[in-house]
């Protein structure tokens, strides 16, 4: 299954749950239930549920935990607290080697960030995955 098919609906559910918290006087949706710097055991249920789904969607790739954490936090910022609800699913699709060329939702800054992240972990990534991501980065001018 393509990761975004399960992640994007959950992101939308999370955004709605956080909006309800705001309406009831809880923290605003611009502040995640768990800021990335807090330990997991202090996380809000929305954060933990989405993180579990994200990690599960990418479990076959055997990505380093640190990279998964960076990708998830970036995805949370963009998809849940930002204005790009499909972002987390798109990143998961890319790392699952199932990126949708026709949707092409990632911008140049995203590709440059992906280039840097991939370079940071290149020795720990499967060579086929590394080649796939770097090919996408080059095609989308992320190294210019």
Predicted pLDDT of residue 54: 95
Give the confidence band of 81 by pLDDT, cuts at 50, 70, 90.
Answer: confident
pTM, 2 dp? 0.83
Dist. CA 79–CA 92, nearest whole Å? 12
In a domain, 133, yes or no: yes
Give the confidence band of 143 by pLDDT, cuts at 50, 70, 90.
Answer: confident
In a domain, 32, yes or no: no
3-state secondary structure of 28: coil
For residues 69 and 51, is the Cβ–Cβ distance under 8 A?
A: no
Rg over alpha carbons for the chain, rounded to the nearest Å, is 15
Q: Based on the structure, what is the number of domains in the chain?
A: 1
Domain range for 97: 3-23+40-139
In a domain, 28, yes or no: no
Q: Express each pLDDT in 90-103 by its tens digit.
A: 999 999 999 987 87
In a domain, 30, yes or no: no
In a domain, 70, yes or no: yes
Average pLDDT, the chain: 84
């Amino acid at each position: 299954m393509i990761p975004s098919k399960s992640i994007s609906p959950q992101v939308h559910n999370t955004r709605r749950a956080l909006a309800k918290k705001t309406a009831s006087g809880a923290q605003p949706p611009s502040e995640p239930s768990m800021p990335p710097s807090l330990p997991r055991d202090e996380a809000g249920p929305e954060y933990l549920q989405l993180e579990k789904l994200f990690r599960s969607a990418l479990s076959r790739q055997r990505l380093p935990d640190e990279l998964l954490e960076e990708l998830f936090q970036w995805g949370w910022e963009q998809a849940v607290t930002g204005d790009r609800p499909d972002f987390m699913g798109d990143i998961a699709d890319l790392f699952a080697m199932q990126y949708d060329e026709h949707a092409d939702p990632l911008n140049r800054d995203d590709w440059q960030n992906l280039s840097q992240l991939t370079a940071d972990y290149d020795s720990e990534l499967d060579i086929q995955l590394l080649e796939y991501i770097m090919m996408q980065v080059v095609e989308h001018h992320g190294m210019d």
